[in-house]
């Protein structure tokens, strides 16, 4: 079974695959609008910080944390804004 989770921020789409016992076995971020496509040093640092945020989202989804909850989304917005304000 596969589950697709669309988050209401950053165009983030998470896909999780489950085994026959309904346990997550693999996952990935299939889409995001968070990363810049430029090659300047500031954009590279910004993209690296967004990669960290995206990795944490995927890890939480794989651990079956509700990444769609209001509190999680609010925390995610704060983390994304903090990263963006540093570059």
The set of residues, in sequence order, having a beta carbon less than 8 Å from that of 28 and lying 6+ positions away, is 14, 15, 58
Sign of the C-alpha dihedral, residues 40, 46, 51, 54? negative
Distance separating alpha carbons of residues 81 and 62, to the nearest angstrom: 24
pTM above 0.75, yes or no: yes
Rounded Cα gap, residues 72 and 69, in angstroms: 5
Long-range contacts of 36-44 (CB under 8 A, 24+ apart): 42/87, 43/87
Tokens 């917005």 belong to residue: 77
pLDDT average per 10 residues of sequence, the chain (87 residues): 95 96 94 79 84 96 97 96 85
């Amino acid at each position: 079974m596969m589950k697709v989770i669309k988050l209401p921020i950053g165009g983030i789409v998470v896909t999780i695959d489950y085994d026959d016992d309904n346990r997550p076995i693999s996952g990935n971020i299939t889409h995001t609008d968070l990363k810049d496509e430029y090659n300047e040093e500031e954009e590279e640092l910004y993209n690296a910080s967004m990669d960290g945020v995206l990795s944490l989202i995927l890890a939480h989804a794989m651990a079956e944390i509700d990444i769609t909850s209001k509190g999680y989304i609010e925390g995610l917005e704060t983390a994304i804004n903090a990263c963006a304000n540093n570059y």
